[in-house]
Amino acid sequence: MRFHDFGLRPELLQALEEAGYDTPTPVQEQSIPILLEGHDLIGVAQTGTGKTLAFLLPIFQTQRAGGTDPQALVVCPTRELAIQVAGEAERFGKHLGVRTVLAYGGTSSGDQKRSLVSGADLLVGTPGRLLDFVNSAWLSLRSVRAVVLDEADRMLDMGFINDVDAILKRSPMSRQTMLFSATIPDEIRELAERYMLHPRTVTMHRGTKVADQVNHALYPVRGSQKQALLVEILRRENPAKTLIFTATRENTSVLALALRRRGHEVVSLSSLLSQANRERALEAFRRGDFPVLVATDVAARGLDITDIDLVVNFDVPMHAEDYVHRIGRTGRAERSGKAVTLVSEHDERRVADIERLLGQAVQRVELPGFSYEPRPAGGARRPGRRGGSHPGRPRRSGRSSGPRRRGTSGGRGRAGRAGGTSRSG
Ligand code: AMP
């Protein structure tokens, strides 16, 4: 199957050719014909599957540029995703003259209002700001023919479901509705039943499969040695672009600071930063000015950077599905990539969940001087030395030294891992 087979407009085929996209991804192959026929669609698919083009191409197929009010609306949970979708829309709608306008919160609304007033064909935004514009009559949804709810489950998690409901209520009944979501919790199913007409469903099971081109491994390490191991991995791999995930936004700052002290050029991305600074950080990483980005899951969602060589799970993700999502940030667009997960003495249960989800064991790589003896069943702790090591001062294998409890840092859960990040070497 090739994009030519869908009977797309020449302007779209030209843009696809310029992007070097010849073959649709599975979600595109299944969704595009359904959407071109005008059906409503539920796409169970995550970012990275090509879902953005799966909805943009059918929308653009019948788009007439140059009207006053938007004909299509894409509702996203985060500004980052909205910016990414708008970027794809500009790239693939350019030969049709599609005017894409962004509307997201956290920044002043003046420029967004001015863009709206000067005419928008496609509007991409976050629920709160979109609803503000509708309520204050800056935005009319009367010409809307298509509404996309992108990452609907995230919108639910972030408490936007009522805003989404209100936006749907205010848009014409004749619209085509598309809902994309990695999972379909009950509230999303109810929303679909309320607002969609006999929707077809397309399901991508990418959630439980790691792409073949991603080489992923677990690196056992004592919590207190995680920073030192990370530095050692960066030294060995020497990647041009590295994305590091931490469990909390506070951890992004702590880890970024620690890496900077060790001579790495790092940017961090979390909701602690202002919107302008988040965009600046992302752009600097995208350009390659900073080779390392430290981020939380939320901040990294929708991150569309195809040349990440190495993904590091500094903290093992809380949910097994997030493991696949995170490591799918590398090995994109036909490139190969590597993903490493630092597994400390507190993480074994989560690792077991991940391996159960994948249906296979993940290889373990032990670097000399960085390992730990799994805790005996029953959780008894062994007495041991404090586990700080320095790459320039390698320790012996350390097999006999267990974790030592100190303040909160020896405990389980977030506090324990946060403590682990803040002292090392
Ligand atoms: P998405 O899931 O929409 O975030 O897409 C993930 C990445 O895949 C984006 O960088 C897209 O530009 C890219 N992509 C989408 N469709 C294709 C395709 N058919 N062939 C190659 N890359 C694609």
pLDDT tens digits for range 357-402: 777 788 999 998 887 665 443 433 333 333 333 333 333 333 333 3
Q: Where are the domains of the chain?
A: 3-207, 209-394
Residue range 214-265, pLDDT digits in tens: 889 999 999 899 999 999 999 999 999 999 999 888 899 999 999 999 999 9
Establish whether domains 3-207 and 209-394 are of one fold.
Answer: yes
**pTM, rounded to two decimals:** 0.58
Share of the chain above pLDDT 90, in %: 56
Among the CATH numbers 3.40.190.290, 3.30.470.20, 3.40.50.300, 2.40.50.100, which is that of 3-207? 3.40.50.300
Ligand 1 centroid, distance to 330 Cα (angstroms): 13
Q: Is the CA virtual torsion 172, 174, 178, 184 positive or negative?
A: positive
Ligand 1 centroid, distance to 372 Cα (angstroms): 40
In this structure, the dihedral spanned by the alpha carbons of residues 401, 405, 407 and 412, taken in order and rounded to 10 degrees, is: 110
- Looking at domain 209-394, its CATH architecture is 3-Layer(aba) Sandwich (3.40)
pLDDT of residue 1: 82
Question: pLDDT averaged over the chain?
Answer: 83
- Helices of type H across 127-274: 127-135, 152-157, 161-170, 186-195, 226-237, 249-261
Strands (E), 302-416: 310-313, 337-343
If one residue of 304, 324, 332 were mutated to test the ligand 1 pocket, choosing by the most ligand atoms within 8 A of its CB, it would be 304
pLDDT band at 191, cuts 50/70/90?
A: very high
Q: Which helix (H) or strand (E) holds 20?
A: none
Query: Does the C-beta of 51 come closer than 6 Å to ligand 1?
Result: yes
Ligand 1 centroid, distance to 216 Cα (angstroms): 22
For 315, the token pair is 């903290």
pLDDT band at 318, cuts 50/70/90?
A: confident
Query: Does the C-beta of 46 come closer than 6 Å to ligand 1?
Result: no
Ligand 1 centroid, distance to 48 Cα (angstroms): 6
Distance CA 314, CA 226 (A): 7
CB 290 within 8 A of CB 239: no
Query: Does the C-beta of 224 come closer than 6 Å to ligand 1?
Result: no
pLDDT of residue 402: 32
Query: Does the C-beta of 304 come closer than 6 Å to ligand 1?
Result: yes
Nearest C-alpha neighbor of 106 from the set 135, 84, 83: 83
Kindly report the protein residue whose alpha carbon is nearest to atom 5 of ligand 1: 50
